[in-house]
């Protein structure tokens, strides 16, 4: 699996949706990211949906009204990888090998 690359807007939206596996309404999402312009939010959500990282009851979001009337959650198949990308401290530390060289 290739490493996931996200920009700041995508990270903000993913954090606002949450990694708990529960759904969030579009109205709640808009309240959680008040600094986003309407066009920026719709573009970011549309991109995350197209990549499969976010699941929505609507496949295409063109207006803020469509966002308000939608429900979102993070795709459970990508949840762990996305959470590690958003918060790098969550990555499991690499354990040294227990194999010993014998002579």
Q: What is the pTM of this model?
A: 0.80
The per-residue pLDDT for range 28-40, each reduced to its tens digit, is: 999 999 999 999 9
Q: For a pLDDT cut of 70, what percent of the chain falls above it?
A: 91
Domains and their CATH numbers in the chain: 8-85 (1.10.10)
Token readout for 21 is: 């596996």
């Amino acid at each position: 699996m290739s490493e996931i690359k996200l920009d700041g807007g995508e990270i903000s939206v993913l954090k606002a949706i949450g990694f708990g596996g529960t759904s969030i309404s579009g109205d709640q999402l808009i309240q959680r990211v008040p600094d986003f312009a309407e066009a920026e939010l719709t573009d970011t959500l549309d991109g995350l949906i197209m990549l499969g990282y976010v699941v929505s009851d609507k496949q295409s979001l063109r207006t803020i009204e469509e966002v308000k009337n939608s429900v979102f959650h993070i795709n459970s198949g990508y949840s762990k990888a996305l959470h590690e990308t958003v918060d790098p401290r969550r990555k499991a530390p690499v354990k040294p090998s227990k194999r010993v060289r014998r002579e």
